[in-house]
Structure 1
Amino acid sequence: MTGYMIYEKNDAQKNKMYVEMHKEAFADFGVDIKLVLTDKIYKEHKMELGKPDFVINRSRDYIISKEYEKIGIRVFNSSEVTRIANNKGLTYKFLKGKVPFMPTEYEKLMLISGVNVNNNLISYPYVLKSCSGHGGSQVFMINSNDDEEIAIKKIENDKFVKQQCCTDLGKDVRVYIIGNKVVAAVLRTSEKSFKSNYSLGGNVSLYDLNETERKYVDTITQMLPMDFAAIDFIFNNGQAAFNEIEDAAGARMLYSISDIDIVKMQVEYMMKELKKSCIAKN
Structure 2
Amino acid sequence: MKGWLIVNGFLNSEKFEEIYDWLIKAALQQGIELRKLTNDQVGSILPISPKNTSWKEKPDFVLFWDKDVYLAKTLEKEGFKLYNCAEAIETCDDKALTFIKLKDTDIKMPKTYVAPMTFDKEYKDYTFLLQVEGNVGYPMIIKENKGSFGEQVYMVNNYYEAVEKIKNIEHHEFIMQEYVESSKGKDVRIHVVGGKVVTAMERVNENDFRANITNGGSMKKYTPTKEQEKMAVEVCEKLKLDFAGVDIMFGKEGEPILCEANSNAHFKNIYDCTKVNVADEIMKFIKKDCKTDN
Q: Would you say 1:181 and 2:192 are equivalent positions?
A: no
1:256 counterpart residue number: 272
Matched-pair contact (CA < 8 Å) for 1:180–1:225: no
Aligned residues: 270
1:90 counterpart residue number: 97
Q: What is the percentage of aligned positions where both structures have the same residue?
A: 26
2 CA distance for matches of 1:201 and 1:123? 27
Q: Given the superposition, is the C-alpha separation of residues 119 and 153 from structure 1 closer, same or farther in structure 2, using an over 3 Å criterion?
A: closer
1:114 counterpart residue number: none
Match of 1:123 among 116, 127, 137: 137
Matched-pair contact (CA < 8 Å) for 1:4–1:56: yes
2 CA distance for matches of 1:42 and 1:142? 40
2:224 counterpart residue number: 209
Q: Given the superposition, is the C-alpha separation of residues 10 and 156 from structure 1 closer, same or farther in structure 2, using an over 3 Å criterion?
A: farther
The one-letter code sitting in structure 1 at the alignment partner of 2:68 is: D
RMSD of the TM alignment (CA)? Answer: 2.7
Matched-pair contact (CA < 8 Å) for 1:128–1:141: yes
TM-score norm. by structure 2 comes to 0.83
TM-score norm. by structure 1 comes to 0.86
2:108 counterpart residue number: 100
2:64 counterpart residue number: 57
Q: Given the superposition, is the C-alpha separation of residues 204 and 122 from structure 1 closer, same or farther in structure 2, using an over 3 Å criterion?
A: same
Runs of at least 5 residues in structure 2 that lack an aligned partner in the other structure: 118-131
The one-letter code sitting in structure 2 at the alignment partner of 1:144 is: N
The one-letter code sitting in structure 2 at the alignment partner of 1:61 is: D
2:124 counterpart residue number: none
Q: Given the superposition, is the C-alpha separation of residues 41 and 47 from structure 1 closer, same or farther in structure 2, using an over 3 Å criterion?
A: farther
2 CA distance for matches of 1:185 and 1:100? 19
Deviation at 1:213, TM superposition (A): 2.0
For 1:218-257, what aligned pairs fall within 5 Å after superposition?
218-237=233-252, 238-257=254-273
Q: Would you say 1:72 and 2:87 are equivalent positions?
A: no
The one-letter code sitting in structure 1 at the alignment partner of 2:6 is: I
Deviation at 1:44, TM superposition (A): 11
Deviation per residue, 1:193-234 (Å, 9 max, x gap): 011111222111122222222332243233233211111111
Matched-pair contact (CA < 8 Å) for 2:62–2:83: yes
Match of 2:286 among 256, 270, 274: 270
1:164 counterpart residue number: 178
